[in-house]
Amino acid sequence: MTRARLIGTAAALVAAAGLALFAGSLLPPNDDPVLSAANAADAPAPLYYQDPDGKPLYSPTPKKTDDGRDYVAVPAPADPSDQPATMSKSDRKIKYYRNPMGLPDTSPVPKKDSMGMDYIPVYDGDDSDDGSIKLSPGKIQRSGVKSEPAELRRLRTLVRAPGTIQLDERRISVIAMRAESFVQKVADVTTGSRVTRGQTLMEIYSPAVSSAAAEYLATITSKSIGGIEPYGRGSRQRLVNLDVPEPVIAEMEKSHSVPITIQWSSPRDGIVLQRSAIDGMRAQPGDILFRIADISLVWANVDVAERDLGGIAVGQPVTVRARSYPGRDFKGRISVIYPQLNKETRTARLRIELANADLALLPDMYVDAEIDTGNPAPVLSVAESAVLDTGSRQAVLVDKGQGRFEPREVKLGRRGDGYVEIRDGLAEGDAIVTSANFLIDAESNLKAALKGLAEGGNAQGTDAHSGHAMGGKP
């Protein structure tokens, strides 16, 4: 080989090596062009292309917006049940094809919509005849479906009602004279003062009382063999009828003297609600001079809704909270259910007796009552979120496993603590869908509608090989 030929061969080798190095610098590290081409061939084609701003604009082929931006490719669904007919490799029998956009449109043969998208096949078993609905694991995971068993629970049902504090009618006393009298002096007692039983309120002069007292003393000074004569007992009763306090009568019998004025005392412990007595005033029979109330025991009158009356009975325990004392509970019991209903508010009134030893509860104070109407016996119950209520019918979705869900009509009972009693339709341990049940119900309704359309189209005798949609002319 000549020297010139050797030089030419070497130059060719150097050029080939340079091209190889240049090509290697353009490829990414560890990238095989043959494998990349194979991966690109295996990648599924997009179903369609959508406007990049999310507008309802679609295209079956790549497209650009007016400002030059590319439409976004929407990939094919990952679930086998959602794959178009051209990508499905299942050997199951195809019953019909449904619209890929979820529209109520089906076809007995493969078909494309107006955007060129393939209709999705519906296989045997996807919609069973027992009314259940089957979802793929991917749909269950994306929808967030959760289930929990129906269990026996004690439902704690609380009825909440507002009310006010009122005085116990049996613990109010009125001081009024039974004969014409004159108020000589009023003690240092005003409206709102707390008084005790036997505490002096005022000094009274009454001609009728003085006359009865003198007559009584005249009879007790003259004694017979049998003690005080019957006439003397009648004179004492006359003082009692004039409402003279018993301590005053006892003092007369001890001192044998008639006092000019009589000290009138409080008949009970309590608070002075009203003081009408004034020094030197003249009091006619029946005039109210003092009104005193004992508030160591008060009433809470609360109004409960008409629908809650069925679970309320006399004697039930009640917790009352006053807005003036946050965090403090007052315990009581229902003593009376008033036999009247407010026709404007559709509420009934309850009377709750409350101990008020420290006199914290005052008349007309606002309170909130909580009444536990729950049954101590446990009942079969499910979460309230599991119930699909249409108004006239209530149902739940039973998780049958393997992605299959069965709607079950139930009869409901009491509610409480986020659960509802199931009186009929379920057994203990049944798995009930508590989350995303509305999505499953919507899927079930869609499949039922598509199935009805498919059956209606087949009944019209559509030619399976004509390529026309259901209901079209052959």
Q: Is the pLDDT of residue 21 over 50?
A: no
Q: Is the pLDDT of residue 337 over 90?
A: yes
pLDDT at 442: 67
pLDDT at 466: 38
Is residue 322 located within the same domain as residue 262? no
Is residue 413 located within the same domain as residue 359? no
Q: What is the pLDDT of residues 258-308, one digit of tens each?
A: 888 999 999 999 999 999 999 999 999 999 999 999 999 999 999 999 988
Q: What is the pLDDT of residues 50-97, one digit of tens each?
A: 788 877 677 778 888 888 888 888 776 555 444 443 444 446 678 778
Is residue 99 located within the same domain as residue 131? yes
Per the prediction, the chain carries an average pLDDT of: 78
Is residue 221 located within the same domain as residue 254? yes
Mean pLDDT along residues 455-460: 51
Structural domain contains residue 285: no
**Sole residue written with tokens 């049958």:** 400
Structural domain contains residue 201: yes
Is residue 85 located within the same domain as residue 130? yes
Last residue of a domain, one of 241, 273, 305: 273
pLDDT at 295: 93
Structural domain contains residue 182: no
Distance of alpha carbon 89 from alpha carbon 84, whole angstroms: 10
- Which pTM value belongs to this model? 0.55
Structural domain contains residue 287: no
Query: What does DSSP assign to residue 428?
Result: T
- Region class of 364: left (phi > 0), else alpha (psi between -120 and 50), else beta: left
Least confident among 15-24, 30-39, 343-352: 15-24
**Sole residue written with tokens 């095989």:** 32
φ, ψ (nearest 5 deg) of residue 41: -70, -35
Q: Which residue has the higher pLDDT, 211 or 443?
A: 211
Q: What is the pLDDT of residues 357-366, one digit of tens each?
A: 999 999 999 9
Last residue of a domain, one of 372, 405, 421: 372
**Sole residue written with tokens 């603590």:** 417
Q: Coil, helix or strand for 170?
A: helix
Q: Which residue has the higher pLDDT, 12 or 379?
A: 379
Distance of alpha carbon 448 from alpha carbon 440, whole angstroms: 12
Question: How far lies 131's CA from each of 303, 344, 393, in Å?
Answer: 46, 46, 16
Q: How confident is the model at residue 204 (pLDDT cuts 50, 70, 90)?
A: very high
Structural domain contains residue 217: yes
Is residue 205 located within the same domain as residue 268? yes
Q: What is the pLDDT of residues 383-433, one digit of tens each?
A: 988 888 877 888 888 888 877 888 888 999 888 788 899 999 898 999 988
Structural domain contains residue 183: no
- Region class of 171: left (phi > 0), else alpha (psi between -120 and 50), else beta: alpha
Is residue 257 located within the same domain as residue 269? yes
Is residue 58 located within the same domain as residue 98? no
pLDDT at 81: 47
Domain containing residue 425: 146-151+377-435
Q: What CATH number did the domain enclosing 324 receive? A: 2.40.30.170
Is residue 56 located within the same domain as residue 86? no
Structural domain contains residue 28: yes
Share of the chain above pLDDT 90, in %: 34
Is residue 115 located within the same domain as residue 65? no
Is residue 8 located within the same domain as residue 55? no
Q: Which residue has the higher pLDDT, 244 or 465?
A: 244
**Sole residue written with tokens 């081409």:** 37
Q: Report the candidate in 318, 321, 319 with the shortest Cα–Cα distance to residue 336.
A: 318
Is residue 93 located within the same domain as residue 66? no
Structural domain contains residue 278: no
Q: Is the pLDDT of residue 46 over 80?
A: no
Q: What CATH number did the domain enclosing 431 receive? A: 2.40.420.20
Domain count of the fold of the chain:
6
Q: What is the pLDDT of residues 110-145, one digit of tens each?
A: 888 888 888 888 776 555 555 567 777 777 777 778
Rg (CA), the chain: 47
pLDDT at 377: 83
Half-sphere exposure of 305 (CA within 13 A, CB side): 6
Mean pLDDT along residues 361-387: 89
pLDDT at 20: 38
